[in-house]
Amino acid sequence: MTDTDLHPRMVPAQKRAEETVRHILNTSAQLLDEVGLDGFNTNLLADRAALRVGTIYRYFPNKLAILRALVQEHAKHMKAALAIFSDLADPTKEWQAIICASIDNYVNAAQQQDGFIAIRRAMQAAPELRAIEKKLVRELSELIVEAIIERGVKVSKEQLFHVAGTFLTAAAATYDLAYLKGKKNKRAEAGIIAELKLMSSSYLANYLT
């Protein structure tokens, strides 16, 4: 599949068209949450969204193009939620509190996003989608590394990139587990999030204290 195949066919220029695209994406996220990636298809989407299949194809050439749009939105929301990492640059601010707040921000963003875990899984559906996730991790790692260096931490930049990448990847995977547990047991979800904060703080203490 070429990169062109993953791009929207047209960019909505009018409010009604924008609303249609938003409706398609919102319904797609909800549907993904219900049927998963394997069960998701444009015919089912059209039925659930009360649209003609042709209307969907007017904006998106295939289901992977829809997934690409959802993954891009996911990355945008998570980047905004984790902008707090820039606060690590201020040595007067307690870094443990910043890390815990970043996890809370991530959790809040995830809980507000329909189809969160399905979209996370969709990131592995094609190289083009994995590239979006890698770009997000790289950008967040750069934010963390630059902030830590400005804070005055004496660790090589190369090592800090390893640290940031490990933290981000492990935290996301751990919250995936918490999110799934939370579908049936909110106490279990809260417990895993608490452990995630402890794990993250204990790991980063090797470099930030």
- Please answer whether residues 118 and 33 qualify as being in contact, where contact means their C-beta atoms are separated by less than 8 angstroms: yes
pLDDT by residue (tens digit) across 146-184?
999 999 999 999 999 999 999 999 999 999 999 999 989
How does residue 8 score in pLDDT terms, banded at 50, 70 and 90?
low
Total-model pTM = 0.88
How does residue 61 score in pLDDT terms, banded at 50, 70 and 90?
very high
Question: What pLDDT does 12 receive?
Answer: 53
Mean pLDDT of 107-119: 93
C-alpha Rg value of the chain to the nearest Å? 19
Residue for token pair 């940031």: 164
Question: What pLDDT does 31 receive?
Answer: 94
Question: What pLDDT does 2 receive?
Answer: 44
Q: Which residues contact 173 (CB under 8 A, 6 or more apart)?
A: none
How does residue 4 score in pLDDT terms, banded at 50, 70 and 90?
very low
Mean pLDDT of 20-33: 94
Mean pLDDT of 46-50: 96
Average pLDDT, the chain: 92
